[in-house]
Every structure is written in C-alpha cells, then in structure tokens.
Amino acid sequence: MSDFFTANISEADPIVSNAIDNEVRRQTEGLELIASENFVSEAVLQAMGTVFTNKYAEGYPGKRYYGGCEFADVVENLAIDRATQLFGAEHANVQPHAGAQANMAVLMTALDHGDQILGMNLSHGGHLTHGHPLNFSGINYKVADYGVSRDTEQIDYDELERIAEESKPKLLICGASAYPRTIDFERIGEIGRSVGAKIMADIAHIAGLVATGLHPSPVPHCEFVTTTTHKTLRGPRGGLILCREEFAADVNRSVFPGTQGGPLVHIIAAKAVAFGEALRDDFKIYQQQIIDNARVLATTLSDAGLRLVSGGTDNHLVLVDVFMDGKGITGKAAEKALGDVEITVNKNTIPFDTQKPFIASGIRLGTPALTTRGMKEADMRLIGKMIASVIQDPESEEVKARVRRDVAELTAKFPMYPDRLKEPHGDAVSMS
Ligand SMILES: *Cc1c(COP(=O)(O)O)cnc(C)c1O
C-alpha cells in the first residue's frame, strides 16, 4: 500500500476523521463541567500520537523482555523521576493503563483473596474500585464501608474509626470521586495504623491539588497512593502508583506481570510531558485558579437557591442537590436540560439519596477543564447563573435559547486547539 505511511486520516478514514473533528468542535463550543475531565496540552496530545504505540516494552527500564527499548527507557525513567519529584514519593510506577488498574495492582500487592477491606461508600463519594459488589474489589475481597454524617455531609472520622475497629480491615482505602471537601489523610493514617491496616489513598480527582500543595498530601501517611493522570493532573488518560521503597518491587510485580502485559509507551511518554508541565510554577497558579473558580461557582449556585452538598467546596468540585426532596428536578433531568444548552455535567447520587443511581438527586460540577481554557471568577458567576436558570425552568425553550447564546458567546472568547479545529464539513460521510 503505497500511501500507508503518508495518507492523512481525513483521506484514509473519513468517517473516523469526521467524528474526531466533530469532537474537537463539541469540546470547544460547549462548557465542560465534568469534574473528572480536563483538556491536555497540544504537547501531551502530540506525545500520545507517536510511534511509541508500536513498541513492546514488557518489564521495567533496564530490565525489559524485548530488545530496542532504549528510547522507551528514556521516557519511562523521565516519567518516574518527575512523578516522584512532583509528589515527594520514594517510588513510582507509571505503567497502569488507568486508575482502576492502579487500584487493582495495589489491592493485589496488599491483600490475599478474601481479605477484608474498608472503603468509602460509593453513594457518599467513593469509587467502584473501593469495594463495589460488581467490581473486582467487591468480588475478590470482603468489604466494609464508611461514609459521611447526615448532618454535615462530611466524612465522619469517629464513625470511620469505629467501623475500622469493628471490621479490622487489612487495607483501608480512602479518596473519592464526588467529595467536595478536604480529606484528612493524617487522621485516616492514624486510624489505619491503630487497627493494623495498610492504607491506600486514591487521589485520582485531587492529584493536581496535592502535587501543588493545595490539598494536604497523603504520601507521608499512607503506604500506597494511587491516582489517574487525566483529571486535575491534566495528563493523558492513565494511572500512577506511588509507594515507599519497601513496597516498590511488590507493586512493580503486581502491575507487570500481575495485572498487565506491555505498557502503553506512547501514554508513558505523554505522562512524562504532563508531569514536566506540572513541575512548573504556573501549574500551581492553575490549580489555585481551579479552587477559586469552584468556590465562586458554588456561591453563585447557592445564592440562586440551589442546595450544595456539605454546604460548599474546598476543592475542584461542587456537588449540587438539584432534587431537594422533590422541590426541584432529578439529577438525570438536570443533566439532560443542561446538555440541551451545551453545558456538560453528570448526574450524581448525593449522600443518603432517595433516588436510584441512574436517576440521582444531584449533579457534580468541576472547574478543572474550564480553568484550563482560561476562565476565571467572573466567568464562573455567569456560568452559575446560566446553570441555575436552566435547572429552575427546565421546560422553558426561551431560557434554553438565551443560555445557548450565552454559552456560544462565552466559549468563543476562550479558543482551544486552533490547529485541530476544522470548519464544519457535514455529517453525511458514508461508506457507500
Ligand atoms: C476516576 C477514578 C478512578 C478510576 O480511573 P479510571 O482511569 O477511569 O479507571 C479511580 N478512583 C477514583 C477515586 C476516581 O475518581
């Protein structure tokens, strides 16, 4: 095939190419408020789209099962060095394909099949991999869970201590996907040690805040720290494990050959680039702006009459109770109404939710992505008002038309990926 190494994707596969172009446009023209999403730099995107995808590099730098790994070693060593520096950790494994794989490898390291774990209740903000019955963590291990208290909607550390004493976990898991408050890793570390448990902190959501010192670090208090690299940390989709030197060999063995085969070297290269970006001074300014923006968004929503779970936020996300015991609309309806005006959010259960997870009483909003675009407090005020007006009048086409115009006007002021944004060229591409 003569054009195999030269043809552009727009010629080689117009259907996929068109979907990619439409996705660039969707991300550019909408307001992205999904708390677990972000926009990576052009440099990170370029690292991902490289010939490193061709390379098998099972093993670790200097100890590979394949020849030709000298440049794979360069990028993996860089990613490891930068990750340990960024988090002040003794050891880093940069190979987990995703956050779930990082957690699987740590559970395999710390536990035997059937051992007891203690994790945060999913409906109070925890994650599937912390013991959900349909996940490997709930299938292979005995699970106890802790949550937030009814009145403060914040983690009840005394209750956590009591449950830890009662359930005697071998691994205590902390960290969350939908928790808007600071997590007291020091206290959780003390509780874990007092019952003889090892501790895993999963900082998938708050890694960027932790890396810049804007959220207390779990690294001094926990044997294992896992994270995704694509949320506040703003790298490629992937996972990362940090641990003390004493667990380094076991963790490495649990990742490969324990739970994965060949590493994604192109993604590791992109992780190295992202960690390099995160080590720069301006990354801290970015993370502070994420927090400032979340606070203003929270205040604006609450001033407009919506109820915030836990009363506010300390981090990058806001959990909004849009159902308010039947006075408002469901999370599912809110997600749909906001989607109609190009504001992208996800429905989310709230603690002690009366609705099923697929309906939910809440929506989760996060500021990492819009902050990357350059938006600041004044923009958050506008967005908060837009969100409140849609939620409070979800059937009004007039409100929706107005907000759609406001979204278009605002997003136009914050361009992204100029070299990737193509003129619309119709969807009528077919293979026939
Ligand atoms: C997002 C998330 C994960 C999982 O990450 P994936 O890359 O989607 O597998 C794990 N733990 C927490 C707390 C998360 O928020």
Side-by-side strand order, sheet with 346-348: 307-308, 317-321, 362-366, 346-348
| Percent of the chain clearing pLDDT 90 (strictly above) | 96
Q: Is the pLDDT of residue 245 over 80?
A: yes
pLDDT-based confidence at residue 123 (cuts at 50, 70, 90):
confident
pLDDT-based confidence at residue 1 (cuts at 50, 70, 90):
low
Pocket test for ligand 1, best of 177, 206, 226, 233 (most atoms within 8 A of CB): 177
Q: Is the pLDDT of residue 430 over 60?
A: no
Q: Is the pLDDT of residue 395 over 50?
A: yes
Q: 266: CA distance to ligand 1 center in Å?
A: 20
Cα distance between residue 66 and residue 87, in whole Å:
30
The mean pLDDT of 258-262, rounded to a whole number, is 97
Residue of 237, 212, 189, 191 lying closest to 38 (CA atoms)? 237
Position 426 scores a pLDDT of: 55
SS3 241: strand
Q: 202: CA distance to ligand 1 center in Å?
A: 8
pLDDT-based confidence at residue 160 (cuts at 50, 70, 90):
very high
For ligand 1, is residue 183 a contact (CB within 6 Å)?
no
Position 428 scores a pLDDT of: 47
Active site residue 325: no
Position 87 scores a pLDDT of: 98
Atom of ligand 1 nearest to the CA of 103: 10
In the block, which residue shows the tokens 């649990």?
254
> Cβ neighbours of residue 303 under 8 Å, at least 6 residues apart?
none
Instruction: For residue 211, give both structure tokens.
Output: 């890396």
Supply the pTM of this predicted model.
0.96
Cα distance between residue 233 and residue 37, in whole Å:
10
SS3 395: coil
Q: Is the pLDDT of residue 198 over 80?
A: yes
H or E element, residue 162: helix 157-167
Pocket test for ligand 1, best of 179, 202, 203, 215 (most atoms within 8 A of CB): 202
Q: Is the pLDDT of residue 423 over 50?
A: yes
Cβ atoms 33, 45 nearer than 8 A: no
| Percent of the chain clearing pLDDT 70 (strictly above) | 98
Q: Which domains does the chain have, with CATH numbers?
A: 47-278 (3.40.640.10), 284-412 (3.90.1150.10)
In the block, which residue shows the tokens 């390379």?
55
Position 2 scores a pLDDT of: 76
Cβ atoms 296, 381 nearer than 8 A: yes
- pLDDT digit string (tens) for 338-380? 999 999 999 999 999 999 999 999 999 999 999 999 999 999 9
Mean pLDDT of the chain: 96
Position 402 scores a pLDDT of: 98
Cα distance between residue 202 and residue 223, in whole Å:
11
For ligand 1, is residue 388 a contact (CB within 6 Å)?
no
Cα distance between residue 137 and residue 333, in whole Å:
31
Position 427 scores a pLDDT of: 54
Q: Is the pLDDT of residue 429 over 80?
A: no
Residue nearest to atom 4 of ligand 1 (CA): 99
Cα distance between residue 283 and residue 12, in whole Å:
38
Q: Is the pLDDT of residue 94 over 70?
A: yes
Cα distance between residue 364 and residue 209, in whole Å:
18
What angle is formed at CA 319 by the lines to CA 317 and CA 320, rounded to 5 degrees? 135
Instruction: For residue 137, give both structure tokens.
Output: 């963590």
